[in-house]
Amino acid sequence: MLYHHFKKQTIYPQSGRQKVLSTILATCLFTFSPMVAVTANSAQAAVTTMDFSNLVTAVSPGVARVNVTKEISEAELAKAQQIELLRQFFGNRVNIPRSQSQPAIEHNYGTAFFVTDDGYLLTNHHVIEGADTITVTLNDRTELDATLVGSDERSDVAVLKVKAPAGTRYPALPIGDSNAVRVGEPVLAIGSPFGFDYSASAGIVSAKSRNFSRDISVPFIQTDVALNPGNSGGPLFNQRGEVIGINSRIFSGTGGYMGLSFSIPIDVAMDIYNQLKDTGEVSRAYLGVFPQDIDRNLAEAYHLERPKGALLTKVSADSPAQMAGLKSGDIILSYNGHEISLASDLINDVNRSRPNDRFEVDVLRAGKVIKLQGTLGLAPTDVTSDDMNEAVPTVRLGLRLRDMSAEEKRHLNSLGVLITAVDPTGLAARSGLQPGDVITNLHQVPISNVTDFATTVRQLPKEGVVTIEVIRQGLPIIIGLRIE
């Protein structure tokens, strides 16, 4: 991403790229009632009674600033910023012509921290995404070149490695238990907000297990710790100096801190770290259900004493859930002995499992509670079209897509590949392709799966217009895809 969306109540990954624009947009007026002001001051006073000075001194050596360089087109960067500003007024009708320019070097920054004494660090995926070079700066001003071991977009976790000279050991930070985190406990963050190195901020845990969407498989820890651009990838500490999370996102109308910050639980991050370090990729468990929360009315309809459980609105065909006997309309009350209060609880439990793990669920069906057992499968993986197209590097469509399930194919009565994400500055976006579109034909070649798409992309001309047939909201359309 070359820019971020600045809208009211938007979740932002916090990297250094948005520094200038967020500073401009942050000049807003806010009104506080006297009662709110008193409450906020009282809460802050309770937090500031904690003296973190010794803790900051002890853990700072394990925190590092991440410096990233990336070669981009100046025209693309300017275009991205112009489009976003204009869309605030004119919506998606904005269409700025592409201009030619010499590539430029973009400098971004974030934060990382050591998890082993031989040089492995954790940071955010969005901090190092698209980086050509990565360096880390220690608190004694030592600069080290870092290599990317692996990165996972869905969890926003990346693993870096610096080479340790003979006899050198780095100050790995102690890892805590994010499951033991309690709402209300004091926490500390250290990072480089707006480029200010080793800046500490404190607050409390506001909530746990916050989920934004099924595409972000993380039960975030919510805090009121001041996080800003540059804090991304930095550690969140408990009172004992143990890392309990990786600072990742904020909830903001301006792109800056507004009291809602989100951190990736360290147990989730360490699981991703171990997989990336061992295999270079992340395998996720798959159940194959579409759950929703139970509200007051549904609780009464299903004769529940209170709203609880995850109502299954759909069970995918040939999925582990279907093979275990789960059906649409079932309410999952517990998963492996863990009570399910919200649909997000079920999502979090599955996301923390591994493929081939056994599961047992208590299910409310037709007024009776039954037990069902099964084995989790391997979650489908999105594919980046640009990663498939190494043979023709000049054709960069800017798409993420995946094969459709058997049920999705039956529902559409068609073969094809599903677009899951579109880069707003890529060729696909400029031609009008959207997430949710199903590509059925590219350049007069039928597309049945990701392999077909990859093969066809490699054979596309380097410039000109090709046809692409998609199904959008059940209707077939043909789009002219301009390749430049």
CB 66 within 8 A of CB 112: yes
Residue 24's Cα: distance from chain center in Å? 26
Which segments of 124-228 are extended strands (E)?
Answer: 133-137, 143-152, 157-162, 186-191, 199-210, 220-223
Using alpha carbons only, what angle is made at residue 249 by residues 206 and 104, rounded to the nearest 5 degrees? 165
CB 408 within 8 A of CB 317: no
Which residues are within 8 A (CB) of 399 and not within 5 positions of it... i.e. 6 or more apart?
A: 384, 385, 386, 419, 421, 422, 423, 426, 428, 433
Residue 356 vs residues 50, 286, 287, 362: alpha-carbon distances, Å: 45, 9, 10, 19
CA dist 402 and 88 (Å) reads 31
CB 418 within 8 A of CB 402: yes
Query: Choosing from 4, 126, 152, 349, which is the catalytic residue?
Result: 126
Task: Write the burial class of residue 391 (CB in 10 Å: 0-12 exposed, 13-18 middle, 19+ buried).
Answer: exposed
CA dist 298 and 228 (Å) reads 40
Q: Is 411 a catalytic residue?
A: no
Q: Is 156 a catalytic residue?
A: yes
| 3 state SS of 411 | helix
* Chain position carrying tokens 């059906």: 327
State both tokens at 391: 């043979």
Query: Choosing from 178, 199, 232, 252, which is the catalytic residue?
Result: 232
CA dist 73 and 300 (Å) reads 58
CA dist 308 and 345 (Å) reads 10
Query: Choosing from 4, 15, 125, 156, which is the catalytic residue?
Result: 156
Instruction: State the DSSP code for 288.
Output: -
| 3 state SS of 228 | coil
CA dist 326 and 54 (Å) reads 53
Q: What are phi and psi of 221, to 5 degrees?
A: -90, 120
CA dist 223 and 203 (Å) reads 7
Q: Is 232 a catalytic residue?
A: yes
Q: Which residues are designated catalytic?
A: 126, 156, 232
